[in-house]
Structure 1
Amino acid sequence: MIFATVGTQLPFPRLMDALNALAASTSEDVIAQTGEATANRSAMQEMRSLQPAEFSDLFNRARVVVSHAGIGSILSARKFGKPLIIVPRRHALDEHRNDHQMATARQVEGSQGIYVAWETDALADLLASDLSPATEAMSPAREHLIAHIAKLLS
Structure 2
Amino acid sequence: MIFATVGTQLPFDRLTRALAGLAPELGEKIVAQVGAFGADQDGLDCRRQLTPAEFEELFTAARVVVAHAGIGTMLSARRWGKPLVVVPRRYALGEHRNDHQVATARQIAEIPGLYVAWKTDELGPLLRHHNLIPASETETPSRAVLVARLRAFVEE
Under a length normalisation based on structure 2, what TM-score does the superposition of the two structures give? 0.90
Deviations 1:84-137 (A, max 9, x none): 000000000000000000010001011010000000000000011220000111
Structure 1 residue runs without a partner (length 5+): 150-154
SS of corresponding position for 1:121: helix
**Which position in structure 2 is the counterpart of 1:98?**
98
Indicate conservation of the 8 Å contact 1:38/1:46, yes or no.
no
Q: CA RMSD in A?
A: 1.9
| Whole-Å separation in 1 of the counterparts to 2:44 and 2:115 | 22
**Which position in structure 1 is the counterpart of 2:49?**
49
State the structure with more CA Rg. Answer: 1
Cα distance change, pair 43–109 in 1 and its aligned pair in 2 (3 A): same
Q: How many residues are treated as equivalent by the alignment?
A: 150
Q: Output aligned runs, 1:63-142, within 5 Å.
A: 63-129=63-129, 130-142=131-143
Under a length normalisation based on structure 1, what TM-score does the superposition of the two structures give? 0.91
Deviation at 1:61, TM superposition (A): 0.1
Cα distance change, pair 103–28 in 1 and its aligned pair in 2 (3 A): same
Deviation at 1:27, TM superposition (A): 1.8
Structure 2 residue runs without a partner (length 5+): 152-156
| Whole-Å separation in 2 of the counterparts to 1:73 and 1:19 | 18
**Which position in structure 2 is the counterpart of 1:61?**
61
Task: After the TM superposition, list the runs of 4 or more consecutive aligned residues in structure 1 that deviate by more than 2 angstroms.
Answer: 36-40, 141-149
Indicate conservation of the 8 Å contact 2:60/2:80, yes or no.
yes
Instruction: Quote the sequence identity (%).
Output: 57
Instruction: Give 2:69's aligned amino acid.
Output: A
| Whole-Å separation in 2 of the counterparts to 1:26 and 1:128 | 7
Instruction: Give 1:99's aligned amino acid.
Output: D
